[in-house]
Amino acid sequence: MSGRVVAIDGPAASGKSTTARQVAERLGFLHVNSGLFYRAITWAALREGLTGGDSGLRRWMPELEIEPVVGEGVVDVRVEGEAAGAELQGREVSAHVSTVSAYGFVRDRVLTLLRAAAELADVVCDGRDIGSVVFPDASLKIFLVADVRERARRRLLDYLVEPSDDAISAEAERLGARDRADSTRERAPLIRAPDAVEIDTTNLTPEAVVRRILDLAAERGLSPRAG
Ligand code: DC
Q: Each residue of 149-193: pLDDT tens digit? A: 999 999 999 889 899 999 999 999 999 998 888 888 777 778 899
Return the domain boundaries, the chain.
Answer: 5-208
The model's confidence at residue 226, banded by pLDDT at 50, 70 and 90, is low
pLDDT of res. 224: 75
pLDDT of res. 1: 54
The highest-level CATH class for domain 5-208 is: alpha beta
pLDDT of res. 126: 97
Tell me: pLDDT of 113 over 70: yes
In this prediction the pTM is 0.92
pLDDT of res. 142: 98
34 lines ligand 1 (CB under 6 A): yes
38 lines ligand 1 (CB under 6 A): yes
CA dist., res. 99 & res. 97, Å (int) = 5
Q: Which alpha helices (DSSP H) does the chain contain, by range? A: 16-27, 34-47, 54-60, 91-101, 104-120, 148-158, 165-184, 206-219
The model's confidence at residue 107, banded by pLDDT at 50, 70 and 90, is very high
Question: What percent of the chain lies above the pLDDT cut of 70?
Answer: 98
101 lines ligand 1 (CB under 6 A): yes
31 lines ligand 1 (CB under 6 A): no
